[in-house]
Amino acid sequence: MGVPFFDLKRQHGSIKNELNAALQQVMDSCRFVLGEKVKSFEKEFAAFCGTDFAVGVANGTDALRLALLACGIGKGDEVITVPNTFVATTEAISQTGAKVVFVDIDPQTYNIDVSQIEEKINERTQAILPLHLFGQPADMDPIMEIARKYNLKVIEDACQAHGAEYEDRKAGSIGDTGCFSFYPSKNLGAFGDGGIVVTNDEEVAQRVRMFRDHGQIKKYEHLVEGTNSRLDEMQAAILEVKLRMLDEWNRLRRRNASAYDDLLQNVNEVVTPLEAECAKHVYHLYVIKTHRRDELQEWLTSKGIGTGLHYPLPLHLQEAYQYLGCGEGDFPKAEECAKQILSLPMFPELTREEIEKVVSEIKAFFARRQDLSLTALVGRGG
């Protein structure tokens, strides 16, 4: 029995009729761009996050970029973030004209090491962009405190953290803006690309609304040059159906994570994810750490078990960011993490049997390693 890394077919099977009906409604309305579905989904997603406003955009990258622009970030500014993220986080910063400034991570949660932020702040720093990696919120209270002290904006990258919580507040609702991706594999995913910005600031919401639609607030009245970054009606219709399932799907992800945690408890070579006390992790990814990562991944692949690397090379060591002048050893925790982390199969519909299969193959791998080491020792007369 193989185990897929991710399987959307199971999810769609359970809500097929609702999805079909929602799509049919859009087809019947013949309104495909910025119609009633986008409006109602925005309202429901804002309520879900506990924010006053939500503005749908074309993808998560644009959510970040337009949120940064709406917060006034641009040329000459510096924005602080982490190097162990998907490149979209930093693309969004650079595309506003601002400079990316990296801070290393906490090796236990893999999120920004808050104690290292202040030393990176100077007169050009305008914002902190914390990432809620793998579905666990960054330590937001101290981040907000630093932001208040230095008068900085906070743009949350919540692209992997739909429904996650920090001290009972939803990820994305704590900073000046929260940005989400609806890429199909996310905890809340569309049938293509999609994204959204949430905020309590009416002006910021208004600016994102203007930027996403060619800088206009009224047809053919362009206050600024914007872009075309609208959430489609079809995607909003699907997301509206799926949003109703999100809490339950996150509950099932947490149940699956807890099963992995229990079953891996006595595997000394594996570090399971730590859920911080202040956080409710929604396990967009279930990521373990091990010194034998590459060999283990190969072993699992040979057994038909899907795995992933998120992410194999930190951004400061990528060709695209050579111009920043960073090098090996600059962010040691992020670098170590990139070499050791392995994402295991994780989705709501994953069965107990499948989790047991993954863990039994992990155990078999380490038992085999031990046998090989013993044989080598005996061979050497040890």
Ligand X SMILES: Cc1ncc(COP(=O)(O)O)c(C=O)c1O
Helix/strand/coil for 221: strand
| 175: contact with ligand X by CB under 6 A | no
List 26, 42, 60, 196, residue binding ligand X (CB under 6 A): 60
| 232: contact with ligand X by CB under 6 A | no
Q: Which residue has the tokens 């995913």?
A: 189
> Contacts with ligand X in 189-228 (CB under 6 A)?
193, 195
| 59: contact with ligand X by CB under 6 A | yes
Helix axes 233-243, 16-29, angle to 10 degrees: 150
CA 71 vs. chain centroid, Å, equals 21
| 131: contact with ligand X by CB under 6 A | yes
Helix axes 36-49, 233-243, angle to 10 degrees: 40
How many Å apart are CA 312 and CA 87, to the nearest integer?
A: 12
Nearest residue (CB) to ligand X, 86 versus 286: 86
The answer to whether the CB of 287 falls within 8 A of the CB of 134 is yes
| 51: contact with ligand X by CB under 6 A | no
| 93: contact with ligand X by CB under 6 A | no
List 78, 106, 157, 213, residue binding ligand X (CB under 6 A): 157
We find the least distance from the C-beta atom of residue 381 to ligand X, in angstroms, to be 52
The answer to whether the CB of 170 falls within 8 A of the CB of 187 is no
Residue 5 is classified by DSSP as S
| 67: contact with ligand X by CB under 6 A | no
Using the contact rule CB under 6 A, the part of the chain among 58-66, 120-128, 144-152, 359-367 near ligand X is 58-66
We find the least distance from the C-beta atom of residue 267 to ligand X, in angstroms, to be 28
Angle at 358 between CA 335 and CA 132, to 5 degrees: 40
List 85, 90, 96, 297, residue binding ligand X (CB under 6 A): 85
Nearest alpha carbon to residue 223 among 212, 210, 209: 210
Using the contact rule CB under 6 A, the part of the chain among 136-144, 155-163, 201-209, 319-327 near ligand X is 155-163
Q: Which residue has the tokens 């206009």?
A: 216
List 41, 48, 86, 331, residue binding ligand X (CB under 6 A): 86
| 137: contact with ligand X by CB under 6 A | no
Applying CB under 6 A, the residues found at the interface with ligand X are 59-61, 85-86, 88-89, 131, 157, 159-160, 181, 183, 193, 195
